[in-house]
Amino acid sequence: MLRNVLGRVVPGKVTDQNDKNYYVQIKGITFELDKSEIKKPMHIGSQFEGFAYINENHKLQITRDAPKVQVDHYGFGTVVSSKYNLGVFVDIGLPNKDIAVSMDDLPLIHALWPKRGDKLMIDLTTDKKHRLWGHLADEEIYETLAVPGQRKMLNNNAKALVFRVMKAGTKVITNHYHIGFIDPSQRDVEPRLGEVVNARVIGYHDDGSFNFSLRPRAYEAIDGDALMLLAMLQHDPTHHLNFTDKSDPEKIKTFFGISKGRFKRGVGHLLKYDLIKETKDGLDVTAKGQQYHPGD
């Protein structure tokens, strides 16, 4: 009987009270109701409807301030802590109860578990011991929420919530409810479940979903020493500089004003974005690099 009451908004009747609580009976089971929630006093026999749960002190409690997350009702909660051999705990808005999401529902790799402040969409389930657990929304739930994107959104930035991590890549939903996928080649570090990432639309599908990248645009990544090196190559009449990673450190310091280590890092950034190319006797700017200007 109790299992069919917990985690739901249910009707009951006030049967008793003291200075701190009303006592509300639901199907023969008595729950505490904090009087501070109630503006207008109730009396014995008054009807009351609220959300029933077991609080952190293992007492049966009912509250007028029902969370969106309930049995068979999905909503977002905020991760507040984790326990390695159990799972993570999620704040769904109850004053004295966080909801556990079992490690069985979390990624096998612990580094991909949600951290404090991350968001999870869950509903509630109860086990045979009357404990409430958070159950992660599956992909079908997110698809019912999804809003089709448009091709004109290509190259736009978006904040996106990671809702599924897989070997094949990462599934996300944006704050405007656009569904998308991040291929492993489009990230430097795999984002964790529940993390909000800054993504960029790089592909559009006919169903209105997107491909995203977590890699920066070239102009966002190219700055400092790399930008200085590129500018020198662009403005040289031959678009060539007679320096390589084997050049003398003192010559590099004299010509560029930076150490050899900084020179090599700058060159590495430019090579990564195909803005320059290496030859046996130096560096040449590519056609892409010649056309590049900060802010493009």
Which pLDDT score, from 0 to 100, does residue 274 have?
Answer: 87
The rounded distance, in Å, linking the Cα atoms of 143 and 164 is: 12
Average pLDDT (260-268) is 91
CB atoms inside a 10 Å sphere around CB 122: 22
Which pLDDT score, from 0 to 100, does residue 215 have?
Answer: 83
Enumerate helices (H) and strands (E) in the chain, giving the number of each: 6, 18
Which residue segments constitute the domains of the chain, with CATH numbers given?
2-63 (2.40.50.330), 75-137 (2.40.50.140), 146-213 (2.40.50.140), 219-291 (1.10.10.10)
Are 66 and 51 spatial neighbours (Cβ–Cβ below 8 Å)?
yes
The rounded distance, in Å, linking the Cα atoms of 94 and 123 is: 14
The DSSP bridge pattern shows strands 196-204 and 210-213 to be antiparallel
Q: What pLDDT, in 10s, does the model give residues 135-169?
A: 999 999 999 999 999 999 998 999 999 999 999 99
Judge whether residue 95 has pLDDT over 70. Answer: yes
Which pLDDT score, from 0 to 100, does residue 272 have?
Answer: 85
Q: What pLDDT, in 10s, does the model give residues 200-254?
A: 999 999 999 999 999 876 656 666 888 889 889 999 899 999 998 889 999 999 9
The DSSP bridge pattern shows strands 99-102 and 132-136 to be parallel
Q: What pLDDT, in 10s, does the model give residues 39-90?
A: 899 999 999 999 999 999 999 999 999 999 999 999 999 999 999 899 999 9
Which pLDDT score, from 0 to 100, does residue 3 have?
Answer: 84
Judge whether residue 22 has pLDDT over 90. Answer: yes
Average pLDDT (259-268) is 91
pLDDT band at 288 (very low <50, low <70, confident <90, very high): confident
Q: What pLDDT, in 10s, does the model give residues 107-121?
A: 999 999 999 999 999
Judge whether residue 295 has pLDDT over 90. Answer: no
Q: How far is CA 95 from CA 54, 55, 65, 98, 282, in A?
A: 12, 9, 9, 9, 66
Judge whether residue 124 has pLDDT over 90. Answer: yes
Average pLDDT (4-30) is 95
pLDDT band at 291 (very low <50, low <70, confident <90, very high): confident
Whole-structure pTM value: 0.74
Which pLDDT score, from 0 to 100, does residue 71 have?
Answer: 97
Which pLDDT score, from 0 to 100, does residue 1 have?
Answer: 76
Which pLDDT score, from 0 to 100, does residue 120 have?
Answer: 98
Residue where the block lists tokens 């950034």: 269
Judge whether residue 296 has pLDDT over 60. Answer: no
